[in-house]
Homo-oligomer: A and B are copies of this chain.
C-alpha cells in the first residue's frame, strides 16, 4: 500500500509491503542516480532540463543495484521489514539544493503531519473566497475550480536563486521570486485577472519573470515552461497580462514590458506554433494588416508553416490586433506617443477581415479577396486551422476583446449584433455529432455553435450586456455553468489548460467576468451563490449578495452598490479594491429594463 503527501518542493512516501518476500524499491530516471547510506539522489531529464532530487529512506537499504550514474537503480531492504518511508526534495538547480529544499520543509517521517500542513495551507488559500448558498455540488465544483487556479504559474525560486531555461543559467532572484509555466493564450482571459484580484504581489512577480525571460532570450515567450518557451498556439498575449496589470495598478517595469513586447511582435514570427524570426508572411502582415490565407486545399509555400497547425490566418490577425492594443496601452503609460499611435492603428487590423455581408471574420488572400467558396462551420480543415484555431468562424466573430463597441458598429446595430449572438447559440451542427467532432475536436461543451469548452468563447455570453440585453447574459451564463461544469462523471467540458477553464467558472459563479483584459472592469452576470465574499490583500472585503437567488431566480431585478441604486452592468477594479457590496435582487423572469441604458453598458477599449 502506498500513501503519499506533498509539501512545496518536497514530499513523503509511506510504503507498506503487503506480502512476504524480497523488498525492492526501484527508481527510474532519464538521467543519473547515485546512492549512499539511506539516501539516493540524481536527476531526470525533462525536455532537456535537469530535474534534481534528493531522497532519504527511514531505514538504510541492505544494498543498491547497479552503480553510481546508472539511470535505473533499486534499493533492497531486509525481508523482515513491513514498511519503508521515503522523503525527498526536488530542485532545478542541483541535488544539493534539492537536499536543502527537503530539509527546509520536511525534517521527519510523519505523513499525517505533512497532510495536516498541506490541508491547512490549502484551506487558507481557498478560504480567501467564501461562498454561501448554492448546492453542495456547486460548492464542490467551485472550490475544485479555485484549487485548479493555482496549478500555474509556479514559483521556482529556491533559496533566492532560480534556474532559467531561457539562458541555461542559475540566477540570483534578488528578492523577486521567478515564476514560470504559463499558457498565456489560455490564461490571459480569466486566470491572470483572477490572480490579480487574489494575489497582486505574486502577479507583480510573474510580470517581472516575463521581463526576465525576454531579457534572457530576446523575445517575450507565449508558453513559458520550466524548459523554455513551448511557444504553442498563436498571438503573444503576455501583452494582455501587462496591459491588464497596468489597468489594475499592479507594479511592474512598464518601459521594459513595452520594449519587450514591441520588439517581439515586430521581429518574431506570428506563424502558429513556430518560434523563429519573422518570415515573408509576417512582412506581409506588417505591410498590409492581415495574415494572408490560402484557398481551401491550396499548397503551402512558406516552409516555416506547420503542416498541421497551418496559417490560422484570421485567428493570427485578430490576436495580433488585440496584442497591439495592449502594447499601445504600455506605450502611452511610458510616454511614448509615437509608439502609441503606431500600435493603436494596428489594433484596428481586425476590420480588414470583417465580411459585412455575412457578419463573420472572413479570411482574405494576399490579393485582399475573401476566400470563396467558404463554409463558416467547416472550412479550414481539422480545427478550422487554415483560417481560425481549434474552433470555427462562429467562435472568432467575437474575438475583438479590445473594442466591443466597434465590433457592434461593424454589425451596423445592436439588434443585428444580438441577433447574431442568438444565432450562435442556436445554429446546429449541420452533420452528425461524431462527424462534427472529427472535424472540430476542440469544440466541446457545445450549445449550437457556441463552444463552452475552449477559451476563445469565455467572454461571449457576457457580450449581450454591451448591446442592451443583459438578461440574456444572465440566462446563458447560468445555463452554461449548470450544463458544463459539474460535480459528476461529466466534470468540466473542455481542456483545463492550467487553470484557464476553471477561472472562467470561478468568476462566473461569483457573478462577474473580466471581458477585456486590459480594462479595469468586470461585467455582471448571474451569481450561482447567495453570497460571495473575497478577502483582499489590502485588508478590505468585497461581497456579491444575490437576494432571492435560486436555480429559477437567475434574473437580476435590481441592484445596489454599497447601498446605492445601481443600474450599470459592470463595476470597476477600484470598486473591488475599495471593498463593499454589490447587492442583486433576483427573480424568475427577466427585468428587461435593468442595465439597458447607454450609461449602463460596459466600457470598450478603442483609442
**B-binding residues in A (CB < 8 A):** 432-435, 437-438, 441, 482-483, 489-490
Whole-angstrom CA separation of A437 from B440 in the bound complex: 12
Complex CA–CA separation, A51 to B482 (angstroms): 43
Residues of B within 8 A of A490 (CB): 490
Residues of B within 8 A of A437 (CB): 434, 437-438
For A433, list chain B residues within 8 Å (CB): 441
Determine the chain B residues whose CB is within 8 A of the CB of A438 once the complex forms. Answer: 434-435, 437-438
| Residue from A435, A437, A483 whose CB has the most chain B CB atoms within 10 Å | A437
Residue of B nearest to A489 (CB): B483
Smallest CB–CB gap between A364 and chain B, Å?
Answer: 30
Nearest-neighbor residue (CB-CB) of A484 within chain B: B489
Which residue of the partner chain B has the closest CB to A437?
B434
Complex CA distance for A199 and B437, rounded to whole angstroms? 42
Identity of the chain B residue whose Cβ is nearest the Cβ of A442 in the assembled complex = B434
Residues of B within 8 A of A434 (CB): 437-438, 441
User: Bound complex: CA of A434 vs CA of B482, how far in Å?
Assistant: 24
Task: Tell me the minimal C-beta distance from A481 to chain B in angstroms.
Answer: 12
Q: Which residue of B lies closest to A441 (CB)?
A: B434
Classify the interface of chain A: helix, strand, loop or mixed. helix
How far is the CB of A407 from the nearest CB of chain B, in Å? Answer: 30
Measured between beta carbons, the chain B residues less than 8 angstroms from A482 are 489
Compute how far the CA of A482 lies from the CA of B489 in the bound complex, rounded to whole angstroms. 9
For this complex, 13 residue pairs linking A to B, each with C-beta atoms less than 8 Å apart, are A432-B441, A433-B441, A434-B437, A434-B438, A434-B441, A435-B438, A435-B441, A437-B437, A437-B438, A438-B438, A482-B489, A483-B489, A490-B490
CB distance from A185 to the nearest CB of B (A): 20
Complexed CA–CA distance, A490 and B490 (Å): 9
6 A-B pairs closest in CB distance = A434-B441, A438-B438, A434-B437, A483-B489, A434-B438, A437-B437
Question: CA of A483 to CA of B486 in the docked complex: distance in angstroms?
Answer: 13
Residues of B within 8 A of A435 (CB): 438, 441
Instruction: Closest B residue to A436 by CB, please name it.
Output: B434
What are the residues of chain B within 8 A of A441 when measuring CB–CB?
A: 432-435
Residue of B nearest to A440 (CB): B434
For the complex, give the distance between the alpha carbons of A490 and B484 in Å: 10
- Nearest residue in B to A443 (C-beta to C-beta)? B434
Complex: A437 Cα to B438 Cα, angstroms:
8
A432 to B442, CA, bound (A): 11
Give the Cβ gap from A96 to chain B, nearest Cβ, in Å: 40
CA distance A444 to B490 in the complex (A): 14
A433 to B483, CA, bound (A): 20
Given contact pairs A434-B438, A434-B441, enumerate 11 new A-B contacts (beta carbons under 8 Å): A432-B441, A433-B441, A434-B437, A435-B438, A435-B441, A437-B437, A437-B438, A438-B438, A482-B489, A483-B489, A490-B490
A435-B441 Cα distance, complex, nearest whole Å: 8
Residues in B neighbouring A432, C-beta threshold 8 A: 441
Query: How far apart are A451's CB and chain B's nearest CB, in angstroms?
Result: 13
The residues of B that contact A489 with a CB separation of less than 8 Å are 482-483
**A432, A433, A434, A435: residue with the most chain B Cβ atoms closer than 10 Å:** A434
Minimal Cβ-Cβ distance residue in B for A432: B441
Closest CB in chain B relative to A13 CB, distance in Å = 25
Question: Nearest Cβ distance between residue A434 and chain B, in whole angstroms?
Answer: 4
In the complex, which of the residues A433, A441, A482 has the most CB atoms of chain B within 10 Å of its own CB atom?
A: A441
Which residue of chain B has its CB nearest to the CB of A438? B438
Closest to A479 in B: B489
For the complex, what is the distance from the CA of A271 to the CA of B437, rounded to whole Å?
A: 31
In the complex, A313→B125 CA distance in Å? 60
Distance in angstroms between the alpha carbons of A36 and B273 in the assembled complex: 70
How far is the CB of A68 from the nearest CB of chain B, in Å?
38
> In whole angstroms, what is the CA distance A441 to B432 when docked?
9
